[in-house]
Structure 1
């Protein structure tokens, strides 16, 4: 019993050593929840573009760390893009007035607008693109991890207006291309293949609008080959949310979405009215001339905008459609803030479908190393191959930005060849920590041996 204090001291030092050098200690706090959307029913050529309100979502004041999704069938099997093309899915945060009844899953609001308040991301579009999360065909191989110590804060009761509660909305736009006469044309929503002359709001479609969202709305049909027979089936969006309970050590990030079709122009005079960010969402890429068809057929679209607020860039990724060759965001001084390139599939299995964008590369700058200043002028570039015409394409850029840090963090985030997140500790800091603990261990051993000489009959646990 005389040796117990020494044993306890040594145990304490060993515990300190283990908890200090164990890089997975924070990961143990992460919780995971898997959900299925309501079923959407498709048959060859059909389109589903519905909105589902009050979807299943983690509750409480939490920080989102991952949001992944994919289309599955009734058996839970992944569905390949060449059968069901996932044009896009988005998840929107909103506040719903308590006591107001509404169908849980509905394709229209069904209640007064004042009962429904959209909690948009931080910008920069004035209308459209309100989502917190969302991707398209690239869903399966695009990393969405938010690195420590950051998180997307939701569920803070202080932010919810009195009399309301926080809920989530899901929009899924899927096109069944089994037996399609022109599979690419169907996924690019070419109007001639859908045989429509009016959009979903009963507005006449102009002759120069060749293809896009106005032609492939909910319940429309793309032309299939004569005589093709295919079954009607129920599909689901399976989404996995990883999160941790909120605490003061988590650094919140803001979500920004830049759109290459933004028509914003910088006012010529400081006294001029504030210019609006009208984001058109989609655009047309015309084919290049036959003279350069086999040389360098690249269509580049560029916009210049000012960033509304400053901070450290924590994460970045682009969203493009088939034909896309990458996007890049540059700072005012020409530096590359983030460049995101498409990953094209090469096979038939889900997640590797040949000819489709199955992933986008992501940016994980060392926290504090890439900053955007408030009001900084940034340039966004979107490149597409225009060896052939592409209709209804997109060029969105997602950024997670945190409040400026006083100095660069010691953790470097990158992706390895498998797409997994790699976290490299600063070597000097790590060595200093280990050296300090080694001194503690040494001190404990010396103290114990000295104490042993004064206490007969005690056998050291280190001998």
Structure 2
């Protein structure tokens, strides 16, 4: 005897999406931004990530609080394991870039994703999800409706081969399948004119040091060198970027 279940007749549904675009006139000061090749928390230094991964249910007796942690180390943007092309290729030449903006992407159950400078241990960005509390569109109860962002002003100067560390947190009181922990980072190539200005300034300072040696003799020259070294050290601190604390909105 075969059991028969009543299946409702399939119906067609129409859905509409509404979005807004903001734009402004292009001016010479505008600089193009692009997304860094990293970072997918399911990836590594050797392999590009799977984008999605599963979070198993926790055992509260061994993991009180039930927080699942996934951590990875990846190069900022060497191009060999790009997140957005889903194919590996030869690494690109190292270059200087500026980190302008970062924001995480997580699914339901996410507790936040953190970006660290692996060499210094500095926390660069902590992106935390906001959950909805209603029934209207854009505020769905229990679902991630936005992630906090980090803006770097001035931009943080880095190299594409710098290693960053990603730490992703999920509540695993219940299991989750197909979750994501991505960190989107907007980069801009460091302007060549800035590099030229730095090199020119260093050349001028070197010439001033030589002139001081000729004018004041050996003793005065030693004093001049000490002064130049002090000035150069302070100048480098001013021309560099001060490490930023995490900024979340």
Question: 2: distance between equivalents of 1:338 and 1:376?
Answer: 16
* Aligned twin of 2:22: 242
Contact in 1 for aligned 2:66/2:173 (Cα 8 Å): yes
Unaligned ranges ≥5, structure 2: 1-5, 79-94, 195-238
- Partners in 1 of 2:97 and 2:7 — Cα distance? 57
Residue 354 of structure 1 corresponds to: 141
- CA displacement at 1:340 relative to structure 2: 0.4
Structure 1 position 290, deviation (Å): 3.9
Indicate how the Cα distance of structure 1 residues 367 and 230 shifts in structure 2: closer, same or farther if over 3 A, else same.
farther
What corresponds to 1:233 in structure 2? Answer: 13
Cα deviation digits, residues 69-94 of structure 1 (max 9, x gap): xxxxxxxxxxxxxxxxxxxxxxxxxx
Q: Does 1:386 align with 2:156?
A: no
TM-score by length of 2: 0.62
User: Displacement of 1:364 after TM fit?
Assistant: 1.1
Find the counterpart in structure 1 of residue 69 from structure 2.
300
SS of match in other structure, 1:401: strand
Contact 2:60 2:66 in 1 (8 A): no
> Based on CA coordinates, which of the two structures has the bigger radius of gyration?
1
Give the equivalent residue in structure 2 for 1:284. Answer: 54
Give the C-alpha shift of residue 371 in structure 1. Answer: 3.0
| Corresponding residue SS for 1:259 | coil
Deviations 1:311-366 (CA, angstroms, capped at 9, x unpaired): 22211111111111000110021111211000001111112111100110011121
Q: Could you tell me how far 1:229 is from its partner in structure 2?
A: 7.7
Task: Say whether 1:311 aligns with 2:81.
Answer: no
Of 91, 111, 118, the residue aligned with 1:325 is: 111
- Residues 313 and 367, structure 1, Cα contact 8 Å, conserved in 2: no
Give 1:292 deviation, angstroms.
4.8
Mapped to 2, the partners of 1:278 and 1:415 lie a distance apart of 27
Kindly report structure 1 stretches of 4+ aligned residues shifted beyond 6 Å. Answer: 226-230
CA distance in 2, matches of 1:317, 1:278: 19
Of 248, 264, 283, the residue aligned with 2:45 is 264
1:253 matched to 2:40: no
Change in 2 beyond 3 A, CA 1:325/1:228? farther
1:237 match: secondary structure:
coil
1:446 is matched with: none
Is the helix fraction higher in 1 or 2? 2
- Taking the aligned partners of 1:312 and 1:306, their CA distance within structure 2 comes to 14
Q: Which residue of 1 aligns with 2:127?
A: 340
Q: CA RMSD in A?
A: 2.8
Question: TM-score with structure 1 length normalisation?
Answer: 0.35
Q: How many corresponding residue pairs?
A: 175
Distance 2:50 2:97 in 1: 27
Q: 1:399 aligns with which of 181, 185, 197?
A: 185
Does the aligned pair in 1 maintain the 2:126–2:248 contact within 8 Å? Answer: no
Q: In the aligned structure 1, how far is the partner of 2:10 from the partner of 2:139?
A: 23
* Shift in alpha-carbon separation, 1:386–1:228, aligned structure 2, 3 A: farther
- Quote the offset at 1:278 in angstroms: 2.4
Q: 1: distance between equivalents of 2:138 and 2:120?
A: 38
Alignment CA distance shift 1:415-1:263 (3 Å): closer
In 2, the alpha carbon distance for the partners of 1:402 and 1:252 equals 6
Q: Which residue of 2 aligns with 1:364?
A: 151
